[in-house]
């Protein structure tokens, strides 16, 4: 091969490699899954994601719901016992997640307090909600101060409402959460 042909082949190969690297970087920073991956990597120690680091705290019910082919659907029927409908209950948990998650849009705000968590837990425990175990496991983790599942809990309920804007992409930093609380609850 001539010297000029070798130079052209090397040049085109170099351009191709640089192009592939650039395309990968662009895709990494502009896709939802990449945003979630980046957010969990920041929380972990760099070698494992937050969900792997907290795998013991993420509920089995949540994992089942995320992997299920079935839709997460809740009833809007009033209960005969005076409890909120399952939709009202799920919506209140959804609104509580807004204090902990980053999403482009958030509709509805309900402050997370110890009293509210205990009240929601008792309501779920005494209910016959279709997703009772999911609610109880979520609330048990939250009552222990573990909100690592908030993004996933938000998105499971958000999907049930056919959400198109406002998918949670990561947990808020402590500073972002403080700002959110000041804006919505103080």
Provide the residue ranges of all domains of the chain, joining segments of one domain with +: 49-185
- What is the structure's pLDDT at 67? 60
Residue 42 pLDDT greater than 70, yes or no: no
Answer left, alpha or beta for residue 143, where phi above 0 means left and psi between -120 and 50 means alpha: alpha
Q: Outline where DSSP puts E strands in the chain.
A: 101-102, 170-171
Residue 17: C-alpha distances to residues 4, 27, 29, 50, 61 (Å): 20, 15, 19, 32, 44
Q: Which structure tokens are listed for 70?
A: 């079935």
Mean pLDDT of 72-89: 77
- What is the structure's pLDDT at 149? 95
- What is the structure's pLDDT at 76? 65
Residue 3 pLDDT greater than 60, yes or no: yes
Residue 47 pLDDT greater than 70, yes or no: no
Average pLDDT, whole number, for the chain?
79
- What is the structure's pLDDT at 159? 84
pTM attached to this predicted model: 0.63
Per-residue pLDDT band for 96 (boundaries 50, 70, 90) equals: very high
Per-residue pLDDT band for 45 (boundaries 50, 70, 90) equals: very low
């Amino acid at each position: 091969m001539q010297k000029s042909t070798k130079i052209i082949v090397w040049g085109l190969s170099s351009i191709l490699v640089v192009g592939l690297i650039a395309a990968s970087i662009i895709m990494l920073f502009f896709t939802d899954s990449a945003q979630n991956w980046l957010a969990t990597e920041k929380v972990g120690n760099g070698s494992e994601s937050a969900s792997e680091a907290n795998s013991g705290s993420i509920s089995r019910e949540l994992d089942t719901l995320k992997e299920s082919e079935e839709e997460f659907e809740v009833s809007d029927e009033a209960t005969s016992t005076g409890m909120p409908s399952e939709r009202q209950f799920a919506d209140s948990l959804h609104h509580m997640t807004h204090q902990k998650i980053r999403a482009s849009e958030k509709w509805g705000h309900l402050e997370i307090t110890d009293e509210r968590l205990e009240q929601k837990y008792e309501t779920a425990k005494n209910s016959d909600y279709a997703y009772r175990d999911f609610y109880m496991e979520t609330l048990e983790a939250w009552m222990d101060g573990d909100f690592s599942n908030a993004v996933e809990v938000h998105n499971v309920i958000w999907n049930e409402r056919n959400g198109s804007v406002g998918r949670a992409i990561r947990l808020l930093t402590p500073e972002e959460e403080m700002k959110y609380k000041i804006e919505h609850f103080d």
